Structures are given as C-alpha cells and as structure tokens.
C-alpha cells in the first residue's frame, strides 16, 4: 500500500507531454485480438488498467512485448475466448473484449462486469445489440456465455450514446456478414481512434466520431503499427492543476479540439488559455470565477470524467457553482473528502452546489475511484499545509506517474509506502 504526501501552496509551473489515452488504448488492445497478427501500439501509457488488459490478452493466447511506450501484441495464436470473473471485476471496462472475442472466435465467455464506485454500469445496450446481430447470449453462474456461428450486420439504434456499447458493436461488426449501421452512436474521440486503428487493420468503418457509424464486414483483419491519441482527461486535469495553484502549464501533444467544453469552462472561470498546433497553454490570472452551472453530457458536451477535477477548482472559486451529473448516478464520491479539506459543497441527488472558499486546508483524504482521486490531488496541491491521499491504486489506473509529472512542474509531492 502507498499514499501520496503533498505539501500544497506551490504554483504548478512547467511543461508536460500528455500521455496516451486510457480510454482509447483499452478498446484498441481488445481489437488486436481480431487482427490475428502482430500489432505495434505506440504511445501506450503505463497504467494499471493497461496492465490488467495485458493479462487478459495473455490469457487469450496473445504474446506481448513492451519496450517503454511501445507495446507489441501478437494475436496470431489466439486460442482462448474466456475472461474469468475476477479479472472482469477488477476492470469492468473489459466488457469491450466481448465484441472482439466474438469477432475473433465466434464464441465468448466473460464474467459479468458488475458495477463500480461511480454507478451500476449496466450492459443492457451492449447485449441488446449483440443479440440483434445474431449472438446467442445466456447468463449462467455469473458468466455471460455468447455463441454465434456468423455475426450478421444490421441496423442498431442506441437508446443512449453509450461509449462501451458503441465500441462493442463496432468490434463485433468488423467481420460480420453484411453492413451494420449504428445510430445515436457515441461521438467521443476515443471511438474515432478505435475506428482509425481498425481501418488501418483492414476494416471498413465510416462515420466514427459522428452519431451514425457504418461498418461493412470484411473477411479478415491484419496487424498494424498505430499511435494512441493523447489523453484529453489527463490533459484537462493538469491544466486545472496549474489554474488552481496560480501557476501556468504548457501541454505538448494536447488536442484542443477534444477539449472544447472544458477549455470554454476554464476560460469562463478566469483562465488565460492559448491554443497551438497540438499544444495548449494555460496561465492563471490570479482569480478563479465560479461557474453558474456545469452539466455533464455525452461528447461533445462537458465530460463526466472531468467533473470532479472541476469541482476541486470550483471549491476555491469566488462565488457559487452548480454541477449536474447526468451520466453516472454516483459520481460525487469525492465530495465528502473535499469537505474534509474545508470545501463547502451540498449534494442534492444529481446536483452539487459548491460555494467557493478562500482556502482549502491540508488533510488526510482517501480516493475511492479514479477521477475523484485526481480531484483530491488537485485540492491538496492548492491547499494550505500537508495532505495525504491514499487509494492511489485508483489514481494509477488512469494517470501515468502522477507524482513524477507534477513534481516536474514544482509540486511538493511524493509517494510513500505504508
């Protein structure tokens, strides 16, 4: 076990290169199973969730080789089609392997993913779509058993633009008989990155990034060499770190086009933001305005994943801000811990009213999920005095070497083993 020890009050100033996107690399690693060949993945972040995905790939019969930021996956000997429930429970987003394994093997057996701290995380939209594609799905003893001699392309309308469901359908459809059309598809940039990877591997996907995606099934895929897109949520987190502490940040390999909602909110809250070619600069102007209301929405709306870091910023803003969390039913778990640091936040159902305070004070706080944990680190950087943040296993799922990156920009932060 370890925790982060942070002595706050130091402006975060410096330059960082944004890591590869967790929510792009996970579905792309699942997709390597369909290639039945060697895939070379560059800009692959060193994250706990990637480590867990590597274990699943090895259990399915892939061989992996990592050389710093490059992961080579050879799926030419894929034989397995089962993911045990322990692995699925550890990382419920592994459900996106379902479509990939079905495309590769015609059958799959995966532990039911279950929920997580931020919500129930149902998969009804995934299963409804796969059944419509001809997959026979049964649930036995906590496992999903799926069989399909030949996946059939068809028209699928998603009741909600679910990221995972869109990805699972795309993965199942790439080798299907005929054409699959997804309407009301998720439009997140990570979906576009997955489609680019699949098309380079020989798939025929059009419209990714829009709400209508068309997939023409092909005979087979082949190996590719691919570079993962930058992580827009990590980028936004570091921009907020600079703003919260009265500092400045130059982000390299940052795609401003993926962050329009958050950059607009940061400007509204008083940040000075400059956008370059794959670069974003933020400078604190010394004041932090409250924001009238922030509603989380599917992309390109305000991302739910950056809600808690923004709430840490609003906690020291001048005035009152209102957050409405429309995506997940339990994504205010960080509020109690922020309150321990002196934040004044009232939660009413899906809304949180944040009255800015002059200064947060250091405290011992506990992360219980990924993005809420990042929010606690941000609050500790801005707080007066020392904080400790435990539950780093959650933060390490999505932030590569968070203490190393922040220390490079002047933060007094270290990881201690307890």
**Is position 114 an interface residue for ligand EPZ (rule: CB under 6 A)?**
no
- Selected binder of ligand EPZ within 109, 193, 231, 305 (CB under 6 A): 305
Residue with tokens 């910023």: 313
**Is position 119 an interface residue for ligand EPZ (rule: CB under 6 A)?**
yes
> What is the radius of gyration, based on Cα positions, of the chain?
21
**Is position 123 an interface residue for ligand EPZ (rule: CB under 6 A)?**
yes
Q: Which is nearer to ligand EPZ, 121 or 260 (CB)?
A: 121
| Strand arrangement of the beta sheet that strand 143-147 belongs to | 82-83, 107-111, 143-147, 136-140
Q: Which is nearer to ligand EPZ, 97 or 226 (CB)?
A: 97
Number of chain positions touching ligand EPZ (CB under 6 A): 24
- Selected binder of ligand EPZ within 124, 136, 139, 393 (CB under 6 A): 124
* Contacts to ligand EPZ from residues 371-410, by CB under 6 A: 371, 398
| Exposure string for 93-114, b = 16+ CB within 10 A, e = fewer | bbbbbbbbbbbbbbbbbbbebe
**Per the residue annotation, which of 39, 81, 105, 116 is the catalytic one?**
116
**Is position 131 an interface residue for ligand EPZ (rule: CB under 6 A)?**
no
**Is position 48 an interface residue for ligand EPZ (rule: CB under 6 A)?**
no
Q: Where are the beta strands (DSSP E) in 241-350?
A: 248-252, 272-276, 279-283, 293-295, 320-324, 344-348
Burial class (CB in 10 A: 0-12, 13-18, 19+), 243: buried
Region label for 391, one of left (φ > 0), alpha (ψ between -120 and 50) or beta (otherwise): left
CB of 168 to ligand EPZ, least distance (A): 9
Q: Which stretch binds ligand EPZ (CB under 6 A): 20-28, 349-357, 384-392, 410-418?
A: 20-28
Q: What tokens does 413 get?
A: 């932060």
Does residue 116 carry a catalytic annotation? yes
Q: Which stretch binds ligand EPZ (CB under 6 A): 69-77, 120-128, 345-353, 408-416?
A: 120-128
- Measured between alpha carbons, how far is 182 from 25 in angstroms, rounded to an integer? 22
**Is position 26 an interface residue for ligand EPZ (rule: CB under 6 A)?**
yes
- Measured between alpha carbons, how far is 22 from 72 in angstroms, rounded to an integer? 17
| Strand arrangement of the beta sheet that strand 179-183 belongs to | 155-157, 179-183, 212-216, 204-206
CB of 282 to ligand EPZ, least distance (A): 21
Site map (CB under 6 A) of ligand EPZ, residues 139-178, x = contact = ---------------------x-xxxx-------------
Q: Which stretch binds ligand EPZ (CB under 6 A): 121-129, 200-208, 378-386, 410-418?
A: 121-129
**Is position 296 an interface residue for ligand EPZ (rule: CB under 6 A)?**
no
- Measured between alpha carbons, how far is 47 from 243 in angstroms, rounded to an integer? 25
Burial class (CB in 10 A: 0-12, 13-18, 19+), 309: buried
First to last CA, the chain: 6
Burial class (CB in 10 A: 0-12, 13-18, 19+), 241: buried
Around Cβ 9, how many Cβ atoms within 10 Å?
Answer: 16
**Is position 75 an interface residue for ligand EPZ (rule: CB under 6 A)?**
no
Q: Which is nearer to ligand EPZ, 10 or 294 (CB)?
A: 294
**Is position 328 an interface residue for ligand EPZ (rule: CB under 6 A)?**
yes
- Residues marked active site are found at 116
Q: Which residues bind ligand EPZ (CB under 6 A)?
A: 22-23, 26, 93, 119, 121-126, 160, 162-165, 186, 304-305, 327-328, 370-371, 398
């Amino acid at each position: 076990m370890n925790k982060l020890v942070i002595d706050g009050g130091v402006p975060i100033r410096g330059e960082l290169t944004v890591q590869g996107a967790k929510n792009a690399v996970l579905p792309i690693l699942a997709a390597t199973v369909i290639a039945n060949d060697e895939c070379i993945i560059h800009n692959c972040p060193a994250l706990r969730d990637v480590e867990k995905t590597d274990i699943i790939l090895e259990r399915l019969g892939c061989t992996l080789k990592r050389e710093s930021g490059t992961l080579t996956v050879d799926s030419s000997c894929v034989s397995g089609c089962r993911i045990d429930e322990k692995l699925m429970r550890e990382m419920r987003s592994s459900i996106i392997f379902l479509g990939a394994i079905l495309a590769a093997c015609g059958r799959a057996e995966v532990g039911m993913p279950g929920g997580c701290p931020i919500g129930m995380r149902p998969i009804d939209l995934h299963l409804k779509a796969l059944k419509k594609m001809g997959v026979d799905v049964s649930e036995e003893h906590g496992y999903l058993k799926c069989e399909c001699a030949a996946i059939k392309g068809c028209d699928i309308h998603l009741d909600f633009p679910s990221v995972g469901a869109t990805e699972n359908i795309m993965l199942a459809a790439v080798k299907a008989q005929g054409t699959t059309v997804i309407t009301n598809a998720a439009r997140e940039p990570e979906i576009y990155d997955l489609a680019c990877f699949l098309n380079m591997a020989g798939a025929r996907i059009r419209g990714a990034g829009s709400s209508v995606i068309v997939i023409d099934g092909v005979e087979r895929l082949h190996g590719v060499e691919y570079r993962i897109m930058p992580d827009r949520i990590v980028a936004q987190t570091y921009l907020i770190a600079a703003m919260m502490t009265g500092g400045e940040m130059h982000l390299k390999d940052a795609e401003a086009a993926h962050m329009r909602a958050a950059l607009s909110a940061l400007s509204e809250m008083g940040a000075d933001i400059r956008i370059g070619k794959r670069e974003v600069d933020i400078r604190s102007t010394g004041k932090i305005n409250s924001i009238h209301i922030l509603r989380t929405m599917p992309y390109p709306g305000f991302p739910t994943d950056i809600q808690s870091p923004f709430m840490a910023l609003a906690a020291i803003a001048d005035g009152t801000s209102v957050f409405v969390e429309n995506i997940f039913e339990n994504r205010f778990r960080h509020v109690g811990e922020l309150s321990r640091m002196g934040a004044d936040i009232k939660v009413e159902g899906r809304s949180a009213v944040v009255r800015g305070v002059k200064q947060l004070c250091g405290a011992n706080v506990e992360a219980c999920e990924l993005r809420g944990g990042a929010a606690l680190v941000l609050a500790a950087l801005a707080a007066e005095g020392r904080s400790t943040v435990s539950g780093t296993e959650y933060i390490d799922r999505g932030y590569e070497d968070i203490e190393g990156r922040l220390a490079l920009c002047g933060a007094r932060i270290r990881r201690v083993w307890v």
